[in-house]
Amino acid sequence: MGKELFESYPHLVRQADAVLGYSIEELCLEGPPELLADTRYTQCAMYTVGALSYVERVRESGVTPDFVAGHSLGEYVALFAAGAFDFVTGLELVTRRATLMAEAAPGGMTAVLGLTADQVRSVLERDDAPPVDVANLNAPEQTVLSGTADDLAAASVLLKDEAKAVFPLKVSGAFHGRHMASAATEFERFLAGYRFVRLRIPVISNATARPYEDDEIPDLLTRQLTSPVRWSDSVDFLLDQPEPEFHELGPGQVLTGLIGQIRAQRPVPAMATS
């Protein structure tokens, strides 16, 4: 992940190493897998590769986007792209975020396919349902839950007969839910020590699915830890813009696949009649 980028931007790689205290290139290219699966390392790797991918894209194309958005950690790459902070500041924020999220109560996340978010919530509102949170609204029929291992297992039992698929994700915590409350409190204090630059490009917030206002950055980054990632709503907002064209940066094409699902399930506009 990121091999060509590391070779092209050695000065940024050196800055990353200085912040992290280890080689980001070695982590991404050599692992070991158990570190890459640990959110304290995963987030730093994803931010670095995402940020370098954006720099490379603009350098090659000479074009800056009309909007930027990121899924969870990717929102920090979007804010970097929009000029809210420089590369090093973004990595400092991500490093602290990752540490606090790792230190929060243990848990996990489970994906539910084939049900709408409202259908998932209906099941979770039953008297016998465990206390889990809707963490990611990824697509019209793809929802991710967050909670303790036992509660997620109990929720999976309730959902498996109605959903197409229910399966655990390879993450190391119960992100974007109530179990991140302590991390959010500490992160809010940490963010108070930073000042953010006026955004040059509109950034779509995970928490609101609408563009940031310049004075909202600390609040929305704090809220993001405990509120659902409203990816489906964010993409709907962007699809309402004139002739939208999406470009996914960084490793993989997961978000491109989600965008395709969201686009395919949007209502067909009614035909005008005379």
182 is catalytic: no
Q: Is 238 within 8 Å of 255 (Cβ atoms)?
A: no
Gap between the Cα atoms of 45 and 231, Å rounded: 21
Rounded-to-integer distance, Cα 27 and Cα 37, Å: 11
- Cβ burial, residue 163 (10 Å; 0-12/13-18/19+): buried
Could you tell me the CA-to-CA distances from 160 to 30, 63, 221 in Å, in that order? 37, 45, 33
* 3-class secondary structure, 222: helix
Question: What are 65's two structure tokens?
Answer: 């986007």
Rg (the chain; Cα; Å): 19
**CA 254 to CA 252: how far, in whole Å?**
6
Exactly one of 71, 146, 172, 176 is catalytic; name it: 176
| Residue in the structure block whose two tokens are 């897998």 | 33
Beta strand residue intervals within 140-264, DSSP E: 142-147, 165-168, 203-204
Residues 264 and 258: their CA atoms lie apart, in Å, by: 10
Q: Residue holding tokens 């590769």?
A: 49
Whether 103 and 224 have beta carbons less than 8 Å apart is answered as no
Token digits of residue 83? 């000029």
Residue 176 annotated in active site: yes
State the catalytic residues.
72, 176
